[in-house]
Chain A
Amino acid sequence: NAGVMQNPRHLVRRRGQEARLRCSPMKGHSHVYWYRQLPEEGLKFMVYLQKENIIDESGMPKERFSAEFPKEGPSILRIQQVVRGDSAAYFCASSRQAGGYTFGSGTRLTVV
């Protein structure tokens, strides 16, 4: 049973490009959470999704960021028109029900 799979592991984008980060939850897990870890800061909650529904997006920046968790396929965190300040490690976690997370290995986004 593979753990939470995130890809790519590293992503480099130029300013203004789009970044797509993928997260495949553990088998049987229907809850997905995205966190962002900025340098020198702790993990910050971004969004909580269940299949086809955004449950809580209170941590998402109002512009340029969006997330989805379709019925089939991985959860996608999408960042449009990236800026240098978006450079961070983005972690996805999944759970069978609320709480009891398993984390992925993260995607390190670098905006140049």
Chain B
Amino acid sequence: EDKVVQSPLSLVVHEGDTVTLNCSYEVTNFRSLLWYKQEKKAPTFLFMLTSSGIEKKSGRLSSILDKKELFSILNITATQTGDSAVYLCAVDMNTGNQFYFGTGTSLTVIP
């Protein structure tokens, strides 16, 4: 059965801390892995990863994919209260029809 598992389920850190969010997957016909940030409304796109070992960066956020070990990590450095959100990982299974989402990691950044 295809699955996407995120860990931890929730995380509370202080401003300035660095966090690492994990996403592991077991799917057939993997095409890409995507990270989204969800605050009170719609998920917003962060990264799409298709190749192993190539880090993608956007400001304080970065992500990398390991297709051999079937996981991805999302790093956030120097966290700010505005980073508080649920971070969703999704796998595109090359069916063209749907993404499989994990249940998300809820991050709370305390001032």
Contact = CB atoms under 8 A, between A and B. Distances in A.
Interface of A: 4, 33, 35, 40-45, 48, 55-56, 58-59, 91, 98-99, 101-106
B105 to A, nearest CB: 10
| Most chain A beta-carbon contacts within 10 A, residue among B44, B98, B100, B104 | B98
Interface residues of B toward A: which range? 20 to 34
B111 interface: no
A33 B97 CA distance: 8
Looking at B97, B99, B101, the one whose CB has the most chain A CB atoms below 10 A away is B97
Interface of B: 31-32, 41-45, 88, 90, 92, 95-104
A48 B97 CA distance: 6
A58 B102 CA distance: 18
B102 A104 contact: no
A14 B44 CA distance: 31
Given A99-B32, A99-B92, A45 B99 contact: yes
B88 A42 contact: yes
B32 A42 contact: no
26 contacts: A4-B42, A33-B98, A35-B101, A40-B103, A41-B103, A42-B88, A42-B101, A43-B88, A43-B101, A45-B97, A45-B100, A45-B101, A48-B97, A48-B98, A55-B97, A56-B97, A58-B97, A91-B42, A91-B43, A98-B96, A98-B97, A99-B96, A101-B99, A103-B44, A104-B42, A106-B41
